[in-house]
Amino acid sequence: MMLSLRNVSKSYITAEGRLEILKSIDFDLDAGESVALTGESGSGKSTLLHLAGGLDDPDAGQILCAGDDIAALDDRGRAEYRRLSVGLVFQQFNLIPSLDVAANISFHAKLARRHDREWERQLVERLGIDMLLARYPEQLSGGQQQRVAIGRTLAARPKLFLADEPTGNLDEETGDAVLDIMLSLTKTAGAALLMVTHSSRLARKLDRTVHLHAGKIT
Ligand code: ADP
Ligand code: MG
C-alpha cells in the first residue's frame, strides 16, 4: 500500500472551541491507483492532504507511506519523506519568484536528486509551457503558473502525488489535458495520486472517488 491512514483524527482549536475535522478515518491508496477526494468546502480535504504529505501531524492514528509511519519520523526523516517521496500541488502554487520557469521546474527534481533534462523536456512540452521557460512566475497567468507547479512536481517523479484542485484555474480543455498527463504518469511510474476535486466529471477519470463528510470518509 502506498498510503494508509489508520484511525486518523484531527481537530483544530479555534475561538469557538474545538473543531473536530477528521474522526478516526481509515483510507488506503495503492501504488498505481488514482483516487478523487470530494466533499463540501470545510469538510477537511486539504487537512487530509496536509497530513498525508507530512506537513502536519494527526492528533491520533497512523499515517503510513509504503509501510513506514510518518509520525514516527524525526525532523530529518520527515524532511526526507517530503523531499523524496511526496509531490504536492496546492491551490497556492508556491513557485519561487526569483527563479525562471525552467529553474522552478527542475528545483524539486534536483533536491530529490532525480533531475533529468529529457524528462523535463517531455513534461514541459506536454504541459504546453515550453515557450515560457525563460519567464518568471510574476509574468505568467494563473493557469500558466498552475501548469508550471504541476510540471515541477512531476519532474521530481514523486511516489505519492497529492493534488488539491490542481486544475481549478484551468479551462476545461487544458484541465482535462493536464489531468490526463497526471494520470498517465501516475500509472507508468507506479505512483499513487490523491486529488481533491469539485468536479464529478474529472473525478470519473480517476480509479475511484471517496467522499469526506462529517469527519468520515465514505
Ligand atoms: P476543505 O479543504 O475541505 O475545504 P480544510 O481542510 O481546509 O477543508 O478545513 C477544514 C476545517 O478546518 C475548516 O472549517 C477550516 O476553517 C478549519 N481549519 C483548517 N485549518 C485550520 C487551522 N490551521 N486552524 C484552525 N482551523 C482550521
Ligand atoms: Mg481545501
Q: 6-23 pLDDT, tens per residue?
A: 999 999 999 999 999 999
Quote the cell numbers at residue 180: 490526463
**Domains of the chain, residue spans:** 31-57+73-217
Confirm or reject: Cβ of 126 under 6 Å from ligand 1.
Answer: no
Ligand 1 proximity of 39 Cβ (cutoff 6 Å): yes
Closest CA to 120 of 93, 155, 91: 155
Arch. (CATH architecture) of 31-57+73-217: 3-Layer(aba) Sandwich (3.40)
Q: What are phi and psi of 36, to 5 degrees?
A: -90, 135
Which residue owns the Cα nearest ligand 1 atom 11? 42
Answer whether 198's CB lies under 8 Å from 38's CB: yes
* Cα-trace Rg, the chain: 17
Tell me: the pLDDT tens digits for 143-192? 899 999 999 999 999 999 999 999 888 888 888 988 998 898 788 778 89
Q: Which band of pLDDT confidence, cut at 50, 70 and 90, is reported for residue 91?
A: confident
pLDDT the model gives residue 105: 96
From the list 217, 218, 207, the residue with the least C-alpha distance to 33 is: 207
Probe target for ligand 1 pocket from 12, 20, 48, 88, with the most ligand atoms within 8 Å of CB: 12
Q: Does residue 157 have its Cβ closer than 6 Å to ligand 1?
A: no
Q: How buried is residue 204: exposed, middle or buried, by Cβ count under 10 Å (0-12/13-18/19+)? A: exposed
Residue 147 near ligand 1, beta carbon < 6 Å? no
Judge whether residue 93 has pLDDT over 80.
no
How far, in Å, from the CA of 44 to the mean position of ligand 2? Answer: 7
Give the integer Cα–Cα distance in Å for 126 and 147: 10
CA of 191 from ligand 2 middle (Å) equals 22
The per-residue pLDDT for 164 is 95
Q: How far is the CA of 45 from the centre of ligand 1 (A)?
A: 8
Q: What pLDDT is attached to residue 177? A: 85
The reported pLDDT for the residue numbered 41 is: 95
pLDDT confidence of residue 174: 85
Per residue in 33-81, pLDDT (tens digit) is 999 999 999 999 999 999 999 999 999 999 999 888 998 888 899 989 9
